[in-house]
Amino acid sequence: MRLGLFGGTFDPPHLGHLILAAECLHQSDLDGVLWILTPNPPHKQGQTISPLENRLAMLQAALGDDPGFSISRVEMDRPGPHYAVETVRLLAKHYPNTELIYLMGGDSLRDLPTWHEPQQFIAACDEIGVMHRPDVEINLSELEVTLPGLLKKVRFVETPLIEISAQDIRHRIRAGLPYRYYLPDSVYQWIRNHDIYR
């Protein structure tokens, strides 16, 4: 078994997340992708984040009945802070004989040295699947000096560059700009029905 772990705030989940996860599922030969909704990301302290129940409802709407995708409660069901290293260790216990491939955008790879216990996080993952992100420069040799052994674990996934971010969608909604087609229709309808992000 090979399982992809896709952690995020998903505020809201958008088409970029879905396109990238589907590409990773296919290219990295995964049996499934676990979407790990983070209640309170350590690196987003001080930012306003939508209530967890809203983000969970939107993520359920986004994933629908796609058999390749499921939502993991591994972070939702434990008290914070929610460090990825702990998440991967817990999932390794829960899924024995399974390779765990942590999926992240290029911005997350670039910022990995600032994560909690990054070296232990790298050791806990069998592989790290990285998706390029527009306007993100990654200095791989510098990262390898800071975190020796990282490159052995990293595999870049050939994904299209997708210029969609949750932050931009929230901004568009606040500013009254068009945002509908950045999202699966189910998420668009949920946002409209609940009148959030205004």
Of these, 34, 59, 101, 108, which contacts ligand ATP (CB under 6 A)? 108
| Cα 115 off chain centre by | 14
Of these, 164, 173, 183, 191, which contacts ligand ATP (CB under 6 A)? 164
**Measured CA angle at 60 (ends 88, 105), to 5 deg:** 45
* C-alpha pair distances (Å), 107 with each of 78, 146, 163, 165: 26, 16, 13, 12
Asked if 82 is part of the footprint of ligand ATP (rule: CB under 6 A), the reply reads: no
Of these, 3, 18, 20, 173, which contacts ligand ATP (CB under 6 A)? 20
Of these, 70, 139, 146, 167, which contacts ligand ATP (CB under 6 A)? 167
Of these, 16, 39, 129, 184, which contacts ligand ATP (CB under 6 A)? 16
Size, binding site for ligand ATP by CB under 6 A: 18
Return the residue matching tokens 């996860």.
21
CA 100 – CA 108 distance, rounded (Å):
17
* Ranges assigned E (strand) in the chain: 2-8, 32-37, 69-72, 99-105, 127-131, 154-157
Of these, 3, 4, 5, 8, which contacts ligand ATP (CB under 6 A)? 8
Q: Which stretch binds ligand ATP (CB under 6 A): 60-68, 84-92, 144-152, 161-169?
A: 161-169
Asked if 191 is part of the footprint of ligand ATP (rule: CB under 6 A), the reply reads: no
Structure tokens at 9: 């705030």
Chain residue whose CB lies nearest ligand ATP: 105
Residue type, 111: D
Asked if 88 is part of the footprint of ligand ATP (rule: CB under 6 A), the reply reads: no
